Structure 1
Amino acid sequence: MTRRLFLLCCGYLLAFGAPAAAAPRLASAIPAPPSLIPLPAELQLSPGRFSVGPQTPIVLADDRAATRRTAAWLADRVARTRGLQLAVRQGGATDKAIVLRRDPQAAVANREGYTLDVTPSGIRITARDDAGLFYGAVSAWQLLTPDAQHGAVNVPLLHIRDQPRFAWRGLMLDSARHFQSVVEVERLLQQMAEHKLNTFHWHLTDDQGWRIQIKRYPELTRIGAWRTPPQAGHDGEPMRYGGFYTQEQIRRVVAYAAARYITVVPEIDMPGHAQAAVAAYPRLGVTGERPAVSVDWGVNPYLYNVDDSTFQFIDNVLDEVMALFPSRYIHLGGDEAIKDQWQASPAVQAKMHALGLKDENALQGWFIDRVGRYLDAHGRRLVGWDEILDGGVPADATVMSWRGSMGAIRAAQLGHDVVLSPAPELYFDQLQSDHPDETAGRVPVQDLARVYAFEPVPKELDASEAKHVLGAQANAWTEHMPTMKHVEHAVFPRLDALGEVDWSPAAARNWSSFIARLPAQFARYRAQDIGYADSAFAAAITLDSTQALATGRATVTLANQADAGTLRYTLDGSAPDAHSPVYQAPFEVTLPVTVRVATFAADGSVLAAPRERVIERAQLLGFSGNALPNCPGSDFRLRVQPLPDATSLAPVYSINVFNSCQRVPATLIDGVDAIHVEAVRLERNYALAHEQKLVVSRPHSTPFGELVVHKDDCKGTVLASMPLPDPAHASRRFALDAALPVQQGEHSLCLIYTAPIDGPLYAIDSLSLHPGAAAQ
């Protein structure tokens, strides 16, 4: 039964996802499935429970150091999250105890597998390897924390036989764009362990910073680890931004990860994303000039050159990297290396022709192959983003597919091992929702359900090709996540979905089962002060604004992404609680009214904090800039902070770096004769490389451009043109006001910033339409 999860009791076999009508026959005999994430490969429940209290010891059946570490980890987690102090002892009586046993003959599928049995006599965890014993302890900890209560706990009698579906279960943290402390990195590693993830991909170098100490090349961190932000010293922006990890700190992180059976795979980007390195040592670059460490997100032009001295530098750097990271894999990047500098360099062109290479893509293939052979000679293996396929790649290279899944398909068909890490599906810097209170990130939304639905093995692969799929990895790029508060909001609970995708049998995954197990996981997060997002369960409050403006009444609909939980609401502005009305169908309200909605789990715990909507005329004629869609023609969209290094979760502003145009949806605007806009000036710190040509430039009639309002569409009648102030003298937030011809009927509006595209970006914080006195 390795492909499905079954509950077995009294001759009944019940699969998760079976018709709800079948469940009551077993309800009196068997408890509900425990809140284990990820779902075990096999789980059999029996009637009865075993009680764990302060008198229950954790007994070590062997004296291995690894077993002692796992026991200490379990005791610590239970104490921190359940307030339950369990003594750890070596040997002795095992009755009424939690027993950890490493048995080389254990009947498990692989080194990460384990069995866990809960009987009236106690809890037994058995594995043939240390990693499996640790993962069994993770499951035991979850069994001991089924809710937010403290103290003794009853654990259902059960049998688990478990092992992961994939060998690579990964999370990437970008420490180059924004820097995290060692303690913060370790906190993330702890959570990875609790989700049974085993590969931490650490992005340590890029255009915006070099974060790893290389003793042979001190300028990499003296210069390359620091950048001067735009508007340094103004509006809270630091004078310089950066930091790096000393080799001692890296050893600490690697050891911390290893104790939790996590391999740290470092990424040292090449041949592109090299601006910080070239800033430190200009001889490594193509032009010989020293650039600044970049403050621009996106694709910068700086590449390593292809001189022998540069490869000697790379080899020397990798020697120190390999001494710090014992991982089999070393990630060399290989992505987004635009070839303009190579194309313009006579020296590079001469080298390319001397090597008999047809173009710059082939030169990149030669570059990566050369470095890959150096790794191979030292017993390591190259992994790179899927662009490494474009110019040919070493036969033993592993390909990480990020440009969708096509790179993985192509690589696997060529015989390469692959890791699925596609954008946008597994990019955790994508927004989790379009709620007004969502923080910074990329659009389109990648909600919890989409992550859970991801299948790592592309259907285009046959059985032999599918064997090359090592697993899946999510990426937390930090251009728009400057603090761990942002990272935690973006990562959790989507990491729960990824954990189940990577670990559990594909046939066992069931969305309804998964979300039913999340309340206990949320309680564990709260106990550990993890700032998870409740976006999947947060209520959206929708209505027909035209109906409301025309009649003074509205039909209100409530929903959430997960289509789960109990929505309770109030109409007087008070916070919903367990006694508030339950939403069952759309309901009528009379304006003005304040609707507040919270989402509750079956056990009464809160799944999502209250969301509020004030429904009255002024609010219906007001709009958040984050809620205004792009104009047709360009789907690119970001929610960004006031400044690139701002540390608060709010406010955030929606921008389109290619086309500064948004629309007010069709609205009944009878009597409206004025518009008020709260506008924001932002840094245009986006390196667009060859896509710069796609940025729309519009004529402007005043020195710094205008915000132009068109009626109905972007070629419609101009209703207003509001000049933008001088950026040198105006504050970042400023108001724009204009009179409009008196409007009648239902119309949409198109709002276009005409500011020069070599200057700042502008966003709409909020917009309000105002009817004249006669219309109110």
Structure 2
Amino acid sequence: MKHLFFLGFLLLISCAEKEKEIIENELAIIPKPQEITVYKGSFTLNSETTYYAEDEFEIASQFISEYLKNSGFGLKKTTKDQATFVVAKDSLLPKEGYALSISEEKINITAKDASGAFYAMQTLRQLLPPSLERLNSFPKPSASLPLVEINDSPKFSYRGMHLDVARHFFDKEFVKKYISYLSMLKMNYFHWHLTEDQGWRIEIKKYPKLTTHAAYRNETLIGHYNDTPQQFDGQRYGGFYTQEDIKEIIAYAQKLNVTIIPEIEMPGHAQAAISAYPELGCTGEKIPVATKWGVFEDIYCPKEETFTFLQDVLTEVVALFPGEYIHIGGDEAPNAHWENCKHCQALIKKEGLKDEHELQSYFITRIEKFLNSKGKKIIGWDEILEGGLAPNATVMSWRGTEGGIAAAKQHHNVIMTPGSHCYFDYYQSENDDEPLAIGGFVPLEKVYTLNPIPEELSENEAKYILGAQGNVWTEYMKTPEHIEYMIFPRILALSEVDWKGPSQNFEKDYPQFVSCVESFMERLDVMGVNFANHLYQLKSKIFKENGKVYYELSTPTHGKDIFYSLNDTKEKKYEGPILIAENSFIKSYVSQNGNPLGKTLQDSIIYHKAINGSITLNKEPHPKYNSGGKEALINGRMGSNARYGDSEWLGFWGDDLEVTINLFQPMEISKVSTRFYHAPGQWIHAPNVATIQIISKGGEMKSETVSVSSNTEKTTAILSFDLSKFQLNEAYKIIIRVPNYGTIPQGQQGAGNEAWTFIDEIIVE
């Protein structure tokens, strides 16, 4: 009997070990949990599954019940002891954290708070088949779940997305859908941009003209702002949300554990409101609701009647929105009218202020005190740092990380949203057929590289970084489908950064993330999301080794082949870097099992005399516009004719530029040329002149200064140095000096700011 008992005991151990056999299985959960172990086996979820949850986890219970019911499931409620699906409290877990355990017999979820339990349901949802996202997807409901142990909590407390509904208006049903996307990805804040120069979108009962007048513009710009001449559609456009609409959207967001932050812009971006009530401006003149994009000089005048208006507006806003934050904008407020306003100048003198920057700080601080008295905190764009930061303000750092660094060092809370990584209105692909966008270039990979905590901050200062946010400005987005295209899949990368934290090993983590995105797209497809798929877009790179130039191709996706042709020769399978020794045209594409995926990449390479050289710059390009690095200026590839933000253009803000090129060996040169982007509507100005200096092997030096040839109807300006007269036979160093255009004059977009300089390939012949 002892022998039989021992054999039985061994059998039980063997079965237990088999049940807990860990398997290597990368589950497509986005954002990726902090800790996850996958075991062999599965749990069957069906209409017989019994459910129990503690009362404080109502939003989690409501979500999973409705989600499964819509797909044909129904959970039977029972007691904790009898349930096979249990949600219980564990006060030792981190805030917003949860533990999820799925065995063959049971689903166990524990959480410290309601948010954690809700996020556990979002993870569970992603473990279920994507087909459940479709209504009535299972006539005979039954689904298998993998066996997992997950311990999870967010890295950052603020995980947000923004939506501008003022440039283009989107109805309440789409706004709710947008919020549902955030919720699925464990994002907890929705920043709702409600007022602008081009439209006021929130009903304020005390000021009816804000919706009868300011919510509509007479027409809208067609095409890009930089097109010459600008054209308009001649169609009245607008819309607004009633207070009942807003209450409905807020209630919906609360069910999905999302807090809404309304933005009421001030003192700038106020032309629509001033159009309705001209007394709010400095001039008192009647002006139209803006019909094109940009920054406008008509801003709120800091008069008592203006503060009365804004306090009345904010009183109604505060009554609607239960969250702790109100966003008051504070960005892009030209001070031209304030400079010429007797009241403003008298107020500066009366309050002992230095200038208009301190007047804006006075404006923001006064609004903050009012909102603080209502139990609210303010958030503002990083311009609110200028002239002194309001005492309790949270800063959104959008012009880079510098504003966030400065605020954190002053012990103010910061939300990072730098344009270099977080502006989803920028292009995400270099393909020519991408939908029209404002400019810039923020591919999926760039979003994934975001680290919200700058290395300049100490451990104590880093505590003030609350998290990161993606921004969706809608100047060039007219439809919900276009918005979905611009946010997906980039929102997936941002959600991972905000929840899991920034990658510590990009080379390992990014391919794994891309693999998850590839699987996740099936879910998006079932949901009917109009996502952009650039996963199969090849990445090409020029590099130099031992005096030779090579062209390298790569794809982040696994299990794929690459095929290419060089100068229209027979197509080959890519096995490694391609030697480039002449002007070359390369076509390449990704293939799986003999089937092409994605679009064909076409690269033209100009094999000029500097391509083998080395290059140094006196200034680093701005982080927003440095994806190609300094080598982009001599890698043989030209930037886009229509976009300044791809990997070949380098951007510099307000800096004089000096480029030094050391040629691979002394050689004869007769011409050096380059080009600059020219788009004044976006603060980008080609320089007026540039100087070249050539140094020969024997120490001979030649210099020349030339004017930059620009055409106001084109977005590029040409710089060409004809050096044939110098008969340079042994040139080895080229120095090009490019003075910045300078301060943008009044009357132009960005007046008072330093201009941007964008430079393309430097071709040496």
What TM-score does the superposition give when structure 1 sets the normalisation length? 0.69
* Counterpart position of 2:128: 144
* Counterpart position of 1:175: 165
CA distance in 2, matches of 1:271, 1:185: 26
1:383 and 2:368 correspond: no
Instruction: Give the gaps of 5 or more residues in structure 1.
Output: 1-9, 11-26, 80-84, 545-554, 572-579, 622-631, 638-651, 663-683, 718-757, 760-776
1:165 and 2:155 correspond: yes
CA contact (8 A) 1:400 1:419 kept: yes
Instruction: Give the one of 104, 109, 120 matched to 1:120.
Output: 104
* Counterpart position of 2:205: 215
CA contact (8 A) 1:267 1:331 kept: yes
Instruction: Give the gaps of 5 or more residues in structure 2.
Output: 1-12, 14-19, 224-229, 544-549, 566-570, 580-584, 607-616, 626-639, 651-678, 690-706, 724-746, 749-765
Q: Deviations over 1:757-776 (max 9, x none)?
A: x99xxxxxxxxxxxxxxxxx
Q: Secondary structure at the match of 1:60?
A: strand
With over 3 angstroms needed to count, the CA separation of the structure-2 counterparts of 1:620 and 1:209, relative to structure 1, is same
1:267 and 2:257 correspond: no
CA distance in 1, matches of 2:491, 2:716: 42
CA contact (8 A) 1:232 1:240 kept: no
Give the drift of 1:501: 0.8
Q: Secondary structure at the match of 1:392?
A: coil
CA contact (8 A) 2:220 2:237 kept: no
Give the drift of 1:557: 7.0
Q: Deviations over 1:575-619 (max 9, x none)?
A: xxxxx997544799xxxx99783455xxx899x95314799xxx9
* Counterpart position of 1:190: 180
With over 3 angstroms needed to count, the CA separation of the structure-2 counterparts of 1:72 and 1:290, relative to structure 1, is farther
Which residue identity lines up with residue 50 of structure 1 in the other structure?
S
Instruction: Give the one of 33, 37, 50 matched to 1:40.
Output: 33
1:518 and 2:517 correspond: yes
1:244 and 2:214 correspond: no
CA contact (8 A) 1:35 1:146 kept: no
1:654 and 2:650 correspond: no
CA distance in 2, matches of 1:558, 1:76: 47
Give the drift of 1:570: 9.6
* Counterpart position of 1:107: 92
Instruction: Give the one of 323, 326, 337 matched to 1:327.
Output: 323
Instruction: Give the one of 183, 189, 204 matched to 2:194.
Output: 204
With over 3 angstroms needed to count, the CA separation of the structure-2 counterparts of 1:438 and 1:282, relative to structure 1, is same
With over 3 angstroms needed to count, the CA separation of the structure-2 counterparts of 1:695 and 1:179, relative to structure 1, is farther
Q: Secondary structure at the match of 1:479?
A: coil
With over 3 angstroms needed to count, the CA separation of the structure-2 counterparts of 1:440 and 1:51, relative to structure 1, is same
CA distance in 2, matches of 1:197, 1:319: 27
Which residue identity lines up with residue 365 of structure 1 in the other structure?
S
With over 3 angstroms needed to count, the CA separation of the structure-2 counterparts of 1:614 and 1:109, relative to structure 1, is closer
CA distance in 1, matches of 2:125, 2:688: 52
CA contact (8 A) 2:221 2:291 kept: no
CA distance in 2, matches of 1:369, 1:599: 58
Give the drift of 1:224: 1.1
CA contact (8 A) 2:564 2:574 kept: no
Q: Secondary structure at the match of 2:166?
A: coil
CA contact (8 A) 1:102 1:129 kept: no
Instruction: Give the one of 32, 42, 58 matched to 1:50.
Output: 42
CA distance in 1, matches of 2:381, 2:475: 19
Give the drift of 1:388: 0.8
Cα RMSD (Å) of the superposition? 4.5
1:611 and 2:605 correspond: no
Give the drift of 1:100: 4.2
Identical amino acids, percent of aligned pairs: 34
More displaced stretch, 503-512 vs 321-330: 503-512
Give the drift of 1:119: 1.0
With over 3 angstroms needed to count, the CA separation of the structure-2 counterparts of 1:584 and 1:55, relative to structure 1, is farther
Give the drift of 1:296: 2.5
* Counterpart position of 1:3: none
CA contact (8 A) 2:421 2:446 kept: yes
Q: Deviations over 1:483-511 (max 9, x none)?
A: 22222122111111111111114467722
With over 3 angstroms needed to count, the CA separation of the structure-2 counterparts of 1:100 and 1:51, relative to structure 1, is closer
CA distance in 2, matches of 1:709, 1:394: 41
With over 3 angstroms needed to count, the CA separation of the structure-2 counterparts of 1:450 and 1:350, relative to structure 1, is same
Q: Secondary structure at the match of 1:357?
A: coil
Q: Secondary structure at the match of 2:247?
A: helix
* Counterpart position of 2:582: none
* Counterpart position of 1:91: 78
Give the drift of 1:61: 3.0
CA contact (8 A) 1:541 1:556 kept: yes
CA distance in 1, matches of 2:601, 2:33: 41
Q: Deviations over 1:57-95 (max 9, x none)?
A: 361334564343122244157x3xxxxx32122115877
Give the drift of 1:96: 8.6
CA contact (8 A) 2:50 2:83 kept: no
With over 3 angstroms needed to count, the CA separation of the structure-2 counterparts of 1:113 and 1:62, relative to structure 1, is same
With over 3 angstroms needed to count, the CA separation of the structure-2 counterparts of 1:709 and 1:493, relative to structure 1, is closer
CA distance in 2, matches of 1:193, 1:54: 25
CA distance in 2, matches of 1:240, 1:716: 52
CA contact (8 A) 2:162 2:470 kept: yes
Instruction: Give the one of 337, 348, 352 matched to 2:348.
Output: 352
CA distance in 1, matches of 2:75, 2:173: 26
CA distance in 2, matches of 1:537, 1:162: 31
Give the drift of 1:162: 1.1
CA contact (8 A) 1:431 1:441 kept: yes
**Equivalences for residues 22-37 of structure 1 within 5 A:** 30-37=23-30
Q: Deviations over 1:197-256 (max 9, x none)?
A: 000001111111111111111111211111122579999935112211111111111111
What TM-score does the superposition give when structure 2 sets the normalisation length? 0.70
With over 3 angstroms needed to count, the CA separation of the structure-2 counterparts of 1:620 and 1:583, relative to structure 1, is closer
CA contact (8 A) 1:211 1:243 kept: yes
With over 3 angstroms needed to count, the CA separation of the structure-2 counterparts of 1:76 and 1:587, relative to structure 1, is farther
More displaced stretch, 247-256 vs 504-513: 504-513
Q: Secondary structure at the match of 2:421?
A: coil
Which residue identity lines up with residue 113 of structure 2 in the other structure?
D
Q: Deviations over 1:612-665 (max 9, x none)?
A: 4799xxx999xxxxxxxxxx999999xxxxxxxxxxxxxx982679xxx99xxx
CA distance in 2, matches of 1:614, 1:443: 21
Q: Secondary structure at the match of 1:297?
A: coil
Give the drift of 1:443: 4.1
Q: Secondary structure at the match of 1:298?
A: coil
Q: Give the length in aligned residue pairs.
A: 609
CA contact (8 A) 1:386 1:403 kept: yes
